[in-house]
Structure 1
Amino acid sequence: MESPRESVVNPLAEQLSARAAARPKSSTKVTIAWVAALSVAGGTVLGGVAGGQAATLIAQEQQDARPSVQDTSTLQVSSTAAVAKAAAQSVVTVSVTTEQASGTGSGVVVAEGGYIVTNNHVVSLDGQGRGARITVETADGQLLQAELVGTDPAVDLAVLKVDADLPAVAFADSAPSVGDEAVAIGSPLGLSNTVTDGIISATGRGIQLSSEVTVPVMQTDAPINPGNSGGALLNGSGELVGINVAIADASPSQSGAQEGASGSIGIGFAIEGDLVQRVANEIIEHGEASHGLLGATVTDQTDARAGVVGATLHETTESGAAAEAGLRSGDVITAVDGTSVTGAADLTARIRSYAAGEEVAVTLMRDGEELELTVQLGEMP
């Protein structure tokens, strides 16, 4: 149930600041499927998309099996332990239950007043969460009922609220660079307060989780597994740089209908922190968030004669943002605000990371010439 919006004081709004957006160009296209493992009445059902290569991270709840745990830690105690000590109290386990299904994920306290960010697929149980009861377990063992403040299915985010004074994590002021330390905290397989570390492997990627969900992400080799969804990805200072959302799955696809997360293979993805902060702020203030719309049909640019990778524009919507800015059919978009675009998913994710009405600089190739146009984005319906 939602409180009247006019009475909400948004403690996250004061934290919003301009971020450095420069990111190195990514060269590998990743195809992502939304595959979630849930415990449902009558047995386990794995939902997926045909041809999928990655899995979202909501843990299957099992009544008769517990994961075995081995001490194989090789963490660098000096840095990782400090990050865990600084941020672990801001990460929670999120349990969602209906008459038909149940599951667990993770969440991060992002603002005073008990506001918690998680993934939409955690609270929706991948589409089976109508009328769900949501419970939050804190790092110190408190069990709290949670209210769903709002969801943003377009970028797989949701905001919860609990009646407790929990410590909020600090957002990083700038985006991480490739090679920076990355620390993941969450509840893989229901194991609360699990800490793993690695590096930022790539930035500026766009991944498609379903036909309706495309998000801008960073890639990490910090081990993350089913149940880490909605958990924190932190930098070496203990600041939030992303919300863990998906992992690559190397298991062969069998039409996608029975595919699930096989576990970490060192390729995980986290939604970019600046998008998380903006969406959480708008949901806390208004109950929903807006997203930019280019107003064009695009595909991956694969013709070597063009000389560059990018997103090829085919059609523009009449009076839409692209048409109003002078973009044309055949243009190959290569960057947005300086962040490289290697294909249609990259472009869609990058445009959605902005609020409706924002102006962005679009770099493109047209007839062998590089141009830069300013586009005022429309609003995604």
Structure 2
Amino acid sequence: MHSILLLSALALAQTPTDNTPVQPRNPDEILAAQHAAYDAIANVPRETPTTRVARAVQPSVVFIETEGSRMVRRGPFGSTTIPVQGAGTGVVVHEDGYVITNYHVVRGARRIQVSFAGEPVRHLAELLSYREAEDLALLRITNKGSLDPAHSANTSEEQPLGLTSAGIVRRAPKVIDIPPRPYPAVRMGTSSDLMVGEVVVAVGNPHGQQHTVSNGIVSGLHRDIQAQNLLFRDLIQTDASINLGNSGGPLLNIRGELIGINTVMNVSAENIGFAIPVDRVRDVLEDELFPSAHRAWIGIDLGEGQTVTSVVAGSPAAQAGLCAGDRILSIADRPAASPVDWTHASLQLTPGAPSILMVQRGPQEVRMTLIPWSKSSGILWKHLGLRVREVASGRTPYIVVTAVREGGPAADIGAQIGDLIPAVRPMEAGSRPASLVRNRRDLAAIVESMTTGTMLEIDIYRDDDRNQEYGYEELYKGALLKH
């Protein structure tokens, strides 16, 4: 206690009592020190790995805007439709303009537009295919679009769309033709070797702030998350900022390679976001989204080395002269000698439009002209052995058989050209009741959903008395086996 009191007394004794002001540092010294500090960092590179990634990937990232509608109640007596808008992000995965994004970004949209950073054009895009359980969708950029209003000098050419629910006239920019061009695609990486703590970069359009870049780290791996009525498994967790509008955008490693698609965030916490691993994205693209996106059907199966293993009898390929053993070289003037090249080249085929097919047959290259069918026509021909077209009997639409493949399921039950098909019913466990069939797409969708080897009960009207009228006595029933 004595020593403590002594120290306190000494401290009091040393305290100035004359209020002498403390002398500041020499201002010249302060300025000189500051200048020296700035000189020392003047040549420090401002470019960082994040800036390099942002510059590399920016041409591949698109801002997605959607327009749709939804029903809302207007008091106790009814409801009305109101317009809704949405936004998100996507990334180009092939130079032909194929874009991957989250399905929830474009679900229910009647109009989809995409735009690139620094460009005055908004491209119209079409939804080609989706996998709702994985929350992934494949878009294609079209050759139609509009000028961004901020860049359009002549807004008088805008076209009225009508009145909104608030009574205000809405206008849409004039649609213009956009010259086709290759689109820069993101470089694909792998998610199989990700490390917790690894630096990552997220690019997106949070809250409409276009082409925003943020960085962070991989905070965790193999996360299972319940969101949007879906269970997401094996996600990447990151603390890079992922907000509303980032959905569908790329998560990249420090080499600028795609390692995930940003999909969900934890709204109750900060800096917790999740991305779908790129390896799963790649599998869904190759196994589901790209195959489902085909509009045309030619009727072949391919094996190793792009060798034709089978040709469906009577199909476009058979009509063109393609044979088992032929090796595909190109189609529609595009190389198709690898599975990836074939996938993207065949996506360009249009039903009914002739395309040149080049194949290797023994030592010779053979050129042939191929006229693809629609995908729905191909499904019916391959699995049921028939082709149909839409007709109307009175006010009721039906489909009528226009061709029957010899030896096919339809031929086996005696189906004939001219038969009308009003309804079908899959005969498998848990199947739904009979469905009315109004067009070939309806029938194709039912057939495609069935398991190979199951039966399809089918109703057929046949004009036996040739009076162009169909009575109950002219109704036949049969069952087709899906091949």
Normalising by structure 2, we get a TM-score of 0.39
Larger helix share, 1 or 2: 2
Greater gyration radius: 2
Q: Which has the higher contact order (CA 8 A, sep 6+)?
A: 1
